[in-house]
C-alpha cells in the first residue's frame, strides 16, 4: 500500500511539474504592457504622434547642425501598440482575452508580441524581427514566430500556412513596411537611419537648415497674450485652458533660454488645442486674434 501511495505521489508530482513547465513555457517571456484609454484608435496616427513627441524632446537639445537622434523606448512604444491594438481586437472567442503587448529590443533584433489569457492561463504570441530604414519606410523582416518561450521557425510557419492558402512562389520570409516620413516631411525633416540598442530604437533624423525658424516678436507677444484674451471664451473648457498654460510655459522657457521656440512642440500643442475647441470657440478666437498671428497658427500649429 505504501509503495502504491509513493508511486501515485511521484506520478502526481511529475504531472504537476510537466503542467507547470508547459504553462510557464506558454507565458509571455517579457513584461506585458496593458492597454489604456487613448485618443487614437488607429495604429498609424498613434505611432506618428508618439514619434513627433519623441522628436520634439530630442529637438530641445538640438544644436542646429547635423542629424538628430530620436529614441523610442520599449515601455513607451509598447504602450502605443497596446492602446492601438485594443480598439481593433474585438472578434476573439469568448475564452480568449487580449491583455496587452510585450517587447524586447536588442542590437540583434526586435521581438514584439501580444499577450492573451486563455481560460486562466496567460499566453504570449510574438514575432522576432530585424528592422531597417529604407526609402523613408520602416522595414520589418520577420525571422521567426514564438508561442510563449517556444520558438516556431519561420519555415514551419510558412509550411503550415501553405496547407490552408496559396503563397507566392519562392517566398522565404515575411516582411512589413511602415511609412514613417509622411508627417516629418511637412515639418522639415525625414528619418534616414535606425540603430537598435538595448531597450530602445534610435532613429537618425535629417533636418533642414531652417528647421527652427525665427518667429516674429509681435507674433510671440500675441501668443503670450492669447490665454488672457481667451479666458472668458474658454471658461467652460478646462482642457483648452490647460493647453494654453503649456503654450505659455513653452514661450516663457524659450525666451528665458534665448532659444527659438521648438516648432514640433508648437505644432503638437496647436493640434491639441484645435482638437479641444468647438466650432463656436474657434470662431470667437478668430475675432480676437491678430490676422498675422492667425496666419501663423494656420501654418505652424496645424490649425484649420
Average pLDDT, consecutive stretches of 10 residues, N- to C-terminus, the chain (304 residues): 55 52 68 83 78 80 74 89 77 75 90 83 83 79 82 68 49 62 57 84 74 68 78 85 87 81 80 83 80 70 48
Residue 5: the pLDDT is: 54
- What global pTM score does this model have? 0.70
Write out the three cell numbers for 12: 502526481
pLDDT tens for 196-243 read: 888 888 888 776 665 566 677 777 777 777 778 788 888 888 888 898
All three cell numbers of 138, joined, read 520602416
Q: How far apart are CA 252 and CA 244, in angstroms?
A: 12
Taking each helix axis from N to C end, the angle separating 263-276 and 291-300, rounded to the nearest 10 degrees, works out to: 100
The DSSP secondary-structure symbol of 39 reads S
Task: Give the ranges where 63-198 is alpha helix by DSSP (H).
Answer: 74-86, 154-162, 182-187
Residues 94, 117: Cα–Cα separation, whole Å: 10
**CA distance linking residue 183 with residue 96, whole number of Å:** 36
Sequence-ordered strand ranges (E) for the chain: 68-73, 96-105, 110-118, 121-134, 137-147, 150-153, 174-179, 189-197, 200-207
**In Å, what is the CA distance from 168 to each residue of 2, 100, 161, 173?**
63, 32, 11, 11
**pLDDT value of position 104:** 92
Q: What angle do CA 57, 63, 68 make, to 5 degrees?
A: 55
The C-alpha R_g of the chain, in whole angstroms, comes to 26
C-alpha cell at 174: 515575411
Closest CA to 149 of 282, 21, 268, 10: 21
Amino acid at each position: 500500500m505504501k509503495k502504491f501511495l509513493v508511486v501515485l505521489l511521484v506520478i502526481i508530482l511529475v504531472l504537476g511539474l510537466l503542467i507547470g513547465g508547459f504553462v510557464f513555457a506558454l507565458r509571455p517571456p517579457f513584461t506585458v504592457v496593458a492597454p489604456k484609454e487613448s485618443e487614437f484608435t488607429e495604429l498609424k496616427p498613434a505611432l506618428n504622434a508618439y514619434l513627433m513627441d519623441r522628436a520634439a524632446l530630442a529637438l530641445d537639445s538640438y544644436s542646429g547642425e547635423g542629424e538628430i537622434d530620436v529614441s523610442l523606448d520599449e515601455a513607451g512604444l509598447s504602450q502605443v501598440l497596446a492602446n492601438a491594438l485594443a480598439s481593433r481586437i474585438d472578434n476573439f472567442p469568448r475564452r480568449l482575452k487580449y491583455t496587452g503587448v510585450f517587447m524586447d529590443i536588442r542590437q540583434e533584433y526586435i521581438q514584439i508580441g501580444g499577450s492573451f489569457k486563455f481560460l486562466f492561463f496567460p499566453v504570449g504570441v510574438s514575432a522576432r524581427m530585424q528592422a531597417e530604414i529604407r526609402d523613408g519606410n520602416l522595414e520589418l523582416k520577420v525571422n521567426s514566430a514564438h508561442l510563449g518561450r517556444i520558438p516556431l521557425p519561420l519555415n514551419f510557419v510558412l509550411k503550415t500556412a501553405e496547407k490552408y492558402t496559396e503563397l507566392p512562389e519562392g517566398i522565404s520570409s515575411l516582411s512589413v513596411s511602415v511609412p514613417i516620413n509622411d508627417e516629418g516631411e511637412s515639418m522639415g525633416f525625414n528619418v534616414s537611419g535606425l540603430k537598435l540598442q538595448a531597450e530602445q530604437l534610435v532613429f537618425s533624423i535629417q533636418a533642414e537648415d531652417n528647421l527652427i525658424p525665427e518667429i516674429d516678436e509681435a507674433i510671440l507677444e500675441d501668443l503670450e497674450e492669447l490665454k488672457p484674451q481667451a479666458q472668458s471664451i474658454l471658461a467652460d473648457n478646462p482642457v483648452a485652458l490647460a493647453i494654453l498654460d503649456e503654450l505659455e510655459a513653452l514661450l516663457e522657457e524659450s525666451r528665458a533660454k534665448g532659444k527659438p521656440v521648438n516648432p514640433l512642440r508648437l505644432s503638437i500643442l496647436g493640434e491639441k488645442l484645435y482638437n479641444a475647441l468647438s466650432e463656436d470657440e474657434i470662431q470667437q478666437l478668430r475675432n480676437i486674434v491678430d490676422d498675422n498671428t492667425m496666419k501663423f497658427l494656420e501654418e505652424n500649429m496645424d490649425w484649420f
